[in-house]
């Protein structure tokens, strides 16, 4: 590069990094993956090292990045919160190179003893400084630009892991530094709830943690599932001169009940660093939170002080990276997948990219609302994330790289012409739901496994012996396409299946034959109509008496049934409006599945009518299912949980938390003898 080209490139990098810093630190909306940012930052550092005359005080390389938001009060750090050097060579050589640099700076020869290090996880969250005076938390501040951060005390106080007061002889002033983060499972649950409510989701756990802390309303931060790990100290404290090692600091912080991650290890020399990096890399996916590497620190404080700092980084510490979990790629197409429950999920077909330790060519877009909110279109350049066992997902679009011909925003119904891409049945989206669904439940090949297992379950047709492994063989082998095909199975076909044999096959055939005699309620429930559970199926059977009457009912008629509202009514009419489902129902009847009509007559008025019962523990004279059927025949309702609306709790042997809840709420409790006596008086 010519000198003019170097000047232009440095100016370009500074402008680009400053822009990315703004979106990441100020707006909490990252525009590029960490790996891309790190690459640009290293390029700038290298050019400035090669041309020191071009280095300036306002360069991003001279600061950590970001600036205080106007909405928060600035906090001047007593000790700057400097970043540490990143070792981007993810092989063993990265650890070996760091140890070599440390030994060289300390003037150690090959014959000298190995250097002792503390190895920690590199958490992917937001760095925070906590200040305690006289053992009381008085201030929490973000890193900011390293010199000045933001006062976020009100939000930090919502994190229950962080103690407000320290006990046990703590110094008069103590600054603790650590990372606010989100667990992956908490992050997924939070986003799922947001999708159900039609609200914006978080981009990733790191962005969720940073965005939560930078909220003016602490109530919002309190609703976010934030966690905290401590990893060191800020301002040197009076009266704590005895500390000799970093590990001693962590142990003392642990004793003061700060959350310290116990994956940290004290190791000896380069080999110890290598082994730690390998071990954590192997278990990275099993950790409940995101990390993007590990951190090595010289353990002895005396040696840290001797090594000192260079530019903005300590010589005695380094971050050793793992493969990036976010990368940039291009969307070639958007496919629609049909799940086992009929849910339609848009999936981005990607230019293959190596991310999170594997090559990714597909990434979920979750649903239509998410796809439109992120405005993902075919041809877009997108950020793809894969962490642990989480399904790869598109987390954002690089808008400034969008081609001119990307077309209109994504429209799932229009793209599919209103039909399931697998079976051609109508697709519907219930009011308040985020997902479109296929209505061809009994017929749709994508839903066969789920439909078959539900049909055969104990509370449906009760076909004992038909479990997941067998159902998988029947469906994958093309032996069963719909539940009606179960009643055509023969001994020769079943006996040849894996782990079956003649005896198991005979038992299954007997169970299938026995299931032909059932009840209308069980049959309705077995059909797997969306939103129709066991209790609703019984209400429908009592109200209509005949299957034909239910199949012909419109939404208005259905809503005359207790507890059936517009959503359930829509699900039922959508199910029976599909000719495929009607054909399966007819086939089941033709194969001999039958029940006593007019089941509503079996329910009679009694003192139990309308009463709510909860069954808990083990009954000696009957099963809980039998007790439930007796109560429902007498007009009672049986609930799975105790509340203020519960009238009676029937407690058998080894009753647990439900009995405790009943006592707590003052709900009447019946033992088995009292329950039987009550039944006899009806």
By the 10 Å C-beta count (0-12 exposed, 13-18 middle, 19+ buried), 537 is classed as: buried
**Higher pLDDT, residue 69 or 457:** 457
Catalytic residue (choose from 27, 39, 122, 644)? 122
pLDDT tens sequence across 613-628: 999 888 888 888 788 8
Listing DSSP states for 212-254 in one string gives HHT-S-HHHHHHS-EEEEEEEESSPPTT-TT--BHHHHHHHHH
Q: Are 527 and 450 in contact (CB under 8 A)?
A: no
Is the predicted pLDDT of residue 506 greater than 90, yes or no? Answer: yes
Q: Which fold has domain 603-680?
A: Rossmann fold (3.40.50)
Q: Are 192 and 130 in contact (CB under 8 A)?
A: no
Average the pLDDT over each of 74-83, 124-133, 152-161 and give the range with the smallest value: 152-161
Average pLDDT over residues 454-479: 92
| pLDDT value of position 30 | 82
Average pLDDT over residues 456-478: 92
Per CATH, the homologous superfamily of domain 3-62 is Helix hairpin bin (1.10.287.610)
Is the predicted pLDDT of residue 120 greater than 90, yes or no? Answer: yes
Per CATH, the homologous superfamily of domain 85-321 is DNA ligase/mRNA capping enzyme (3.30.470.30)
Ramachandran category for residue 654: left, alpha or beta (phi over 0 → left; psi -120 to 50 → alpha): left
The dihedral built from the CA positions of residue 286, 292, 296 and 297, taken in this order, carries a sign that is negative
Ramachandran category for residue 29: left, alpha or beta (phi over 0 → left; psi -120 to 50 → alpha): beta
pLDDT tens sequence across 183-201: 988 898 888 888 777 777 8
Domain with CATH 1.10.150.20 in the chain: 445-600
Beta-strand relationship, 226-233 and 265-268: unpaired
Task: Quote the pTM value.
Answer: 0.53
Ramachandran category for residue 424: left, alpha or beta (phi over 0 → left; psi -120 to 50 → alpha): left
| pLDDT value of position 547 | 95
Distance of CA 362 to the CA centre of its chain: 18
The question of whether 374 is a catalytic residue gets the answer no
pLDDT tens sequence across 531-575: 898 888 988 998 999 999 999 999 999 999 987 888 899 999 999
Average the pLDDT over each of 365-379, 557-571, 630-644 and give the range with the smallest value: 630-644
Domain with CATH 2.40.50.140 in the chain: 326-414
Is the predicted pLDDT of residue 267 greater than 80, yes or no? Answer: yes
**3-class secondary structure, 288:** coil
Is the predicted pLDDT of residue 249 greater than 50, yes or no? Answer: yes
Q: Are 532 and 543 in contact (CB under 8 A)?
A: no
Share of the chain above pLDDT 90, in %: 48
Is the predicted pLDDT of residue 203 greater than 80, yes or no? Answer: no
| pLDDT value of position 390 | 64
Q: Which fold has domain 445-600?
A: DNA polymerase; domain 1 (1.10.150)
| pLDDT value of position 463 | 95
| pLDDT value of position 356 | 73
Average pLDDT over residues 633-657: 84
Q: 326-414 architecture in CATH?
A: Beta Barrel (2.40)
Average pLDDT over residues 470-492: 93
By the 10 Å C-beta count (0-12 exposed, 13-18 middle, 19+ buried), 426 is classed as: middle
Chain-wide mean pLDDT for the chain? 87
Average the pLDDT over each of 59-68, 164-173, 272-281 and give the range with the smallest value: 59-68
| pLDDT value of position 240 | 62
**Higher pLDDT, residue 351 or 620:** 351
Share of the chain above pLDDT 70, in %: 94
| pLDDT value of position 600 | 46
Can you state the angle between helices 3-21 and 34-50, rounded to 10 degrees?
Answer: 140
Average the pLDDT over each of 264-268, 406-410, 512-516, 596-600 and give the range with the smallest value: 596-600
Dist CA 228 CA 258 (whole Å): 9
Q: pLDDT-based confidence at 601, cuts 50/70/90?
A: very low
| pLDDT value of position 65 | 43
Q: Are 68 and 148 in contact (CB under 8 A)?
A: yes
Average pLDDT over residues 398-427: 92
Dist CA 7 CA 2 (whole Å): 9
Nearest 10 degrees: Cα torsion 17, 179, 217, 34: 30
Q: Are 24 and 326 in contact (CB under 8 A)?
A: no
Q: For the chain, how many residues are written?
A: 682
| pLDDT value of position 26 | 45
Is the predicted pLDDT of residue 410 greater than 70, yes or no? Answer: yes
Tokens coding 67? 């600036």
Beta strand extents in 356-459 (DSSP E only)? 358-364, 381-385, 393-397, 427-428, 437-438
Domain with CATH 3.40.50.10190 in the chain: 603-680
């Amino acid at each position: 590069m010519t000198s003019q080209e170097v000047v232009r490139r440095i100016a370009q990098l500074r402008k680009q990094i400053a822009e990315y810093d703004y979106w990441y630190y100020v707006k909490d909306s990252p525009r590029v993956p960490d790996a891309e940012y790190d690459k640009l930052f290293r390029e700038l550092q290298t050019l400035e090292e090669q041309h020191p005359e071009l280095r300036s005080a306002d360069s991003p390389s001279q600061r950590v990045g970001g600036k205080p938001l106007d909405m928060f009060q600035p906090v001047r750090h007593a000790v700057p919160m400097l970043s540490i050097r990143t070792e981007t060579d993810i092989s063993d050589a990265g650890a070996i190179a760091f140890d070599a640099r440390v030994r060289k700076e300390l003037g150690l020869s090959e014959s000298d003893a190995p250097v002792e290090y503390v190895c920690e996880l590199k958490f992917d969250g937001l760095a925070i400084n906590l200040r305690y005076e006289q053992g009381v938390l008085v201030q929490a501040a973000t890193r900011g630009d390293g010199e000045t951060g933001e006062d976020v005390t009100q939000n930090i106080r919502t994190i229950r892991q962080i103690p407000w007061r320290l006990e046990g002889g703590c110094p008069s002033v103590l600054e603790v530094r650590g990372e606010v983060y989100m667990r992956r499972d908490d992050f997924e649950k939070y986003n799922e709830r947001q999708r159900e409510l039609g609200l914006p989701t978080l981009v990733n756990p790191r962005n969720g943690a940073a965005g939560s802390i930078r909220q003016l309303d602490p109530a919002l931060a309190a609703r976010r599932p934030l966690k905290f790990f401590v990893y060191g100290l800020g301002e040197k404290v009076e009266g704590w001169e005895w500390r000799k090692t970093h590990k001693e600091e962590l142990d003392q912080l642990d004793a003061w009940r700060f959350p310290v991650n116990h994956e940290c290890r004290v190791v000896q020399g380069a080999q110890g660093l290598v082994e730690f990096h390998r071990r954590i890399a192997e278990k990275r996916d099993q950790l409940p939170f995101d990390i993007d590497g590990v951190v090595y620190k010289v353990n002895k404080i005396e040696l840290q002080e001797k090594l000192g700092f260079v530019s903005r980084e300590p010589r005695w510490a380094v971050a050793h990276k793992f493969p990036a979990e976010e990368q940039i790629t291009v969307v070639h197409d958007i496919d629609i997948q049909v799940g086992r429950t009929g849910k339609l999920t848009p999936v981005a077909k990607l230019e293959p990219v190596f991310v999170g330790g594997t090559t990714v060519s597909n990434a979920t877009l979750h649903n239509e609302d998410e796809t439109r909110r992120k405005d993902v279109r075919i041809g877009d350049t997108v950020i793809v994330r894969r962490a642990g066992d989480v399904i790869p997902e598109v987390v954002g679009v690089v808008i400034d790289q969008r081609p001119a011909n990307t077309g209109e925003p994504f429209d799932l119904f229009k793209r599919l012409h209103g039909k399931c891409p697998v079976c051609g049945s109508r697709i519907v989206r219930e009011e308040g739901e985020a997902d479109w669904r296929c209505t061809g439940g009994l017929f749709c090949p994508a839903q066969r496994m789920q439909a078959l297992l539900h049909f055969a379950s104990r509370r449906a047709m009760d076909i004992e012996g038909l479990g997941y492994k067998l159902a998988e063989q029947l469906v994958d082998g093309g032996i069963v396409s719909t539940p009606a095909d179960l009643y055509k199975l023969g001994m020769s076909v079943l006996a040849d299946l894996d782990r079956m044999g003649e005896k198991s096959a005979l038992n299954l055939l007997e169970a299938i034959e026995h299931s032909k005699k059932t009840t209308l309620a069980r049959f309705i429930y077995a059909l797997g109509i969306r939103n129709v559970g066991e209790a609703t199926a019984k209400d429908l059977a009592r109200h209509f008496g005949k299957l034909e009457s239910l199949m012909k009912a419109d939404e208005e008629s259905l809503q005359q049934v207790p507890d059936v509202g517009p959503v359930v009514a829509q699900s039922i009419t959508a199910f029976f409006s599909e000719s495929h489902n009607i054909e399966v129902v007819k086939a089941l009847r033709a194969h001999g599945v039958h029940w006593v009509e007019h089941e509503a007559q079996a329910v009679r008025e009694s003192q139990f009518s309308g009463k709510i019962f909860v069954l808990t523990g083990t009954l000696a004279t009957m099963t809980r299912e039998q007790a439930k059927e007796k109560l429902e025949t007498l007009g009672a309702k049986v609930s799975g949980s105790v509340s203020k609306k519960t009238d009676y709790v029937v407690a058998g042997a080894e009753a647990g938390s439900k009995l405790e809840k009943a006592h707590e709420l003052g709900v009447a409790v019946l033992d088995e003898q009292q329950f039987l006596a009550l039944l006899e008086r009806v």
